[in-house]
Amino acid sequence: MANPQAGRLAGKVAFITGAGTGIGRATAELFAHEGARVVIAEIDAPSGEETAHRIAAAGGDSIAIPTDVREADSLQAAIRQAVSHYGRLDVLHNNAGGSTLQDSDVVNAPIEEFWRAITLDLFGTFLGCRFGIPELIRSGGGAVINMASVVALMGFPGRDCYTAAKGGIAALT
């Protein structure tokens, strides 16, 4: 890692949900490379710890906090722990989400799949904003990054649950 104290995010604290794999992990590593201290909020604790180890190995500063974004108490506690550890919050990246093979068109998708998508993607983003934005304000301002998708604007045949959730995120943002 290049000198993290000299990056564009030097001195900033970034809270990233779903940072154990995929886009979330890549974002966490990039933010750390740019000098941010990164909070990895991840439901799968081993994946979150792996991301933290990768950041540490590259010279960055991060902590992993097991977090279920679908549960208000879990997400609120994770944000509080992050602020307690680092003293502030500057970036909130609501990244956790995804689709499953159970997703389908509105007629055939299991009702449980709709609730899973809405709860994980949309409600998780809502909770992140609800508990994270006050901390951003207390820290003097910051940035909120909510992961929607192009499907929010165009739709995606056979993925109506995911599309509805991402459309909600776009509207919330």
Lowest mean pLDDT among 4-8, 38-42, 117-121, 159-163: 4-8
Q: What pLDDT, on the 0 to 100 scale, is given for residue 58?
A: 97
Higher confidence at residue 1 or residue 101? Answer: 101
Domain ranges of the chain: 4-172
Q: What's the CA gap between 68 and 129, in Å, rounded? A: 15
Residue range 124-161, pLDDT digits in tens: 999 999 999 999 999 999 999 999 998 888 888 889 99
What region does 95 belong to: left with phi over 0, alpha with psi -120 to 50, or beta?
A: alpha
Q: Is 80 exceeded by the pLDDT of residue 39? A: yes
Sequence length of the chain is: 173
Residue 116 binned pLDDT confidence (cut-offs 50, 70, 90): very high
Mean pLDDT of 67-88: 99
The secondary structure of residue 43, as a DSSP letter, is S
Residue 1 clears pLDDT 70, i.e. is over it: no
pLDDT grade, residue 5 (50/70/90)?
low
Catalytic residues: 162
State the Cα–Cα distance between residues 152 and 145, nearest whole angstrom. Answer: 16
- In this structure, whether the domain defined by 4-172 belongs to CATH 3.30.930.10 is answered with no
Return the percent helix, strand and coil in the chain, to nearest 5: 50, 15, 35
